[in-house]
Amino acid sequence: MLKKLKASGDERYKWIALTNTTLGIFMATINSSIILISLPAIFRGVGINPLSPGNVGYLLWLLQGYMLVTAVLVISLGRLGDIMGRVRIYNFGFAVFSFASVALALDPLHGGKGALWLVVWRLVQGIGGAMLFANSSAIIVDAFPAKQRGLAMGINQVAAIGGSFIGLIAGGLLSIGNWRLVFWVSVPFGILGTFWGYHSLRDNGKRANATIDWWGNITFALGLTSILIAMVYGIQPYGSSSMGWLAPKVLFGFGLGLIFLVIFFVIELKTEHPMFNLRLFKIRAFATGSVAGLLAAIARGGLQFMLIIWLQGIWLPLHGYAYDATPLWAGIYLLPLTIGFLIAGPVSGYLSDRHGARILSTSGLLLFGASFVGLLLVPTDFHYIWFAILVLLNGVGGGMFSAPNTTAIMNSVPSDQRGSSAGIQAAFMNSGMVLSIGIFFSLMIVGLTNSLPNSLFIGLTNHGVGPAQAHQIAQLPAVGSLFSSFLGYNPLQSLLGSQAATHVNNSQWATLTGKHFFPNLIASPFHHGLVIVFSMAIAMSLIGALFSAFRGNRYVHEEHTMHEHVGDMTLSGGAVPGEPAIETEVTP
């Protein structure tokens, strides 16, 4: 009787744990993307022009600060969850996140100080997000039996990545009303999740009997922070260069970061209780899945930014949408991407419980890469049906990969390392997103720098702008045009100044500042840059698929351990009599 009651309680609890952690991850990932679409409204609200040279830093830090903090802290907070209790750290993350959301919505300042307030509290919000990211997967794995983890992780992964796309639509809708709603929307969910988590979640995972690896935490945080900050400044103009990769502070940041990371790895190899357990990479399922996940995260992050620029800066204006309306419509037109992921994620997770991750994850990344090939073949001013099909396939491929891959990784590690493992995966995902901005923005800027100045000069002079002014505008850093497209601005209105200063007639001025001139002008240079960017994404998808293919057969650590210790069991992995045998890889 007691056994039945316990089983009934465990059955209910696992769904409570999944629902609460899915809410937390959904909220955290929505907030990583909701700001992408609402940035123009936010900057108008605090009263600054994001495209002014002195304000580009605010723009980049609002874009990347949240993900940077999350990437830096998730491993430490995951390992802290192993030691102190995953639920404790997770619940505290909900509380921190909610408090920071309130502070963001109540920004009392204006101008640069108002923007700085937002940057600082976005960093604090990132700390709460890191606590949620670092422990949610481990809580799910603790609550579910191995044969159901794929389905559970599929639902959770749908929330994690689907939320990043739903945030685009939410940001567009909310910013129409008031920019503060972008931050207020998280508050009721955060309060609900905090109280619900404290009253319903329990720590039923194995605690690690270990001390906190302070030196490992400090050197890792300093190293990764230095490198990611250097990347933020690397994509900003420096002197006469369109980018700042050779700026002294960028080179110093990279150098300092590498030194700290080398020290970190030396510490982790020697300490008895490491924060970043490098020995986990001896497990083939963990190592190959982690590398594949990092490559997929970089490719996916690049896709998101490039599609937003493509829609907001070119396609939507060409089809009659006002520039200030393009952020919302970009989110709506990207819905097939979210739908594909929402469909494929849970289904693939469910199937991976029965057939393992290798075929599903590898096929998913191949489909993911194939969709990039298709996007390169459509013209810049495409027919939407073909674009929708391709981004739908991209979402399906991402869903086929993510849930099985995450489940396979979490299944492969000892129970007292699940928090650390979840932290490593979250760090890879968030670092991948930050890296993608640096990598893909840089590649796109290279493509634009090679072709945009000539197109811009010819287009301006053909419409009455004097050669001297046209040459001056054409030589401006391409990053300005890129950010303009990203934010849904028509940059020519601010670059040309007034009609009188430009010395053009009314008809020419209307053409230059209208919906079609700049999108038509940038379309060919943008596609040139897109070929470079998506070619890199295709390469990453293929390499990731190769790693995924070499992950081996389905491997569950508990079953592998049982197989080692119970020699007389005939079923592989120590399966329970009457249950189907599960194939495991004996040598990880």
Q: Is residue 169 over pLDDT 50?
A: yes
Of all residues in the chain, what percent carry a pLDDT higher than 70? 87
In the numeric block, which tokens belong to residue 105? 């919505």
Q: Is residue 391 over pLDDT 90?
A: yes
Provide the pLDDT for residue 345: 81
- Split at pLDDT 50, 70, 90, the class of 2 is very low
Of all residues in the chain, what percent carry a pLDDT higher than 90? 17
Q: Which residues contact 583 (CB under 8 A, 6 or more apart)?
A: 356, 553, 554, 572, 573
User: What integer best gives the mean pLDDT of the chain?
Assistant: 80
Tens of pLDDT, residues 258-305: 999 899 889 888 887 777 777 888 888 889 999 999 999 888 877 777
In the numeric block, which tokens belong to residue 494? 């601010």
Tens of pLDDT, residues 16-27: 988 898 888 888
CA pair distance 20, 464, nearest whole angstrom: 60
Provide the pLDDT for residue 141: 78
Tens of pLDDT, residues 183-209: 998 888 888 888 988 888 887 666 666
Provide the pLDDT for residue 351: 83
Of residues 170 and 153, more confidently modeled = 170
How many Cβ atoms from other residues are within 10 Å of residue 363's Cβ? 18
CA geometry: angle at 267 spanning 261 and 271, to 5°?
150
In angstroms, the Cα distances linking 98 to 26, 33, 46, 92, 134 are 14, 17, 21, 10, 17
Provide the pLDDT for residue 209: 65
In the numeric block, which tokens belong to residue 62? 């609002």
Give the range with max mean pLDDT: 51-60, 87-96, 195-204: 87-96
In the numeric block, which tokens belong to residue 334? 């990207």
- Split at pLDDT 50, 70, 90, the class of 224 is confident
Of 207-221, 254-268, 361-375, 514-528, the least confident: 207-221
CA pair distance 476, 469, nearest whole angstrom: 11
DSSP per-residue string spanning 41-67: HHHHHHT--TTSGGGHHHHHHHHHHHH
CA pair distance 468, 457, nearest whole angstrom: 10
Provide the pLDDT for residue 563: 47
Maximum distance among all Cα pairs of the chain, rounded to whole angstroms: 91
Q: Which residues contact 403 (CB under 8 A, 6 or more apart)?
A: 150, 153, 154, 157, 158, 345, 346, 348, 349, 352
Which alpha helices (H) appear in 85-110, and where do they start and end? 86-105
Q: Which residues contact 369 (CB under 8 A, 6 or more apart)?
A: 299, 397, 537, 538, 541, 542, 545
DSSP per-residue string spanning 489-557: --HHHHHH--HHHHT--HHHHHHHTSSSHHHHHHHHHHHHHHHHHHHHHHHHHHHHHHHHHTT-S---H
Q: Is residue 340 over pLDDT 60?
A: yes
Q: Is residue 486 over pLDDT 70?
A: no
Of 67-81, 229-243, 446-460, 572-586, the least confident: 572-586
* Secondary structure class of 238 (helix, strand, coil): strand
Q: Is residue 10 over pLDDT 80?
A: no
Q: Is residue 346 over pLDDT 90?
A: no
CA pair distance 392, 450, nearest whole angstrom: 32
Residue 4 exposure: Cα atoms within 13 Å on the Cβ side: 1
How many Cβ atoms from other residues are within 10 Å of residue 533's Cβ? 26
Provide the pLDDT for residue 558: 59
Q: Is residue 69 over pLDDT 60?
A: yes
- Mean pLDDT for 57-79 is 79
Q: Cite the beta strand spans of 235-288 per DSSP E.
A: none
CA pair distance 171, 37, nearest whole angstrom: 5
Of 410-419, 530-539, 579-588, the least confident: 579-588
Using an 8 Å Cβ cutoff, are 421 and 409 in contact? yes
Provide the pLDDT for residue 103: 95
Domains of the chain: 9-210+296-448+524-557 (1.20.1250.20)
Burial of 177 (0-12, 13-18, 19+ CB in 10 A): exposed
Of residues 165 and 280, more confidently modeled = 280
Of residues 143 and 162, more confidently modeled = 143
Tens of pLDDT, residues 361-373: 999 999 999 999 9
Radius of gyration of the chain (CA): 25
Using an 8 Å Cβ cutoff, are 112 and 55 in contact? yes
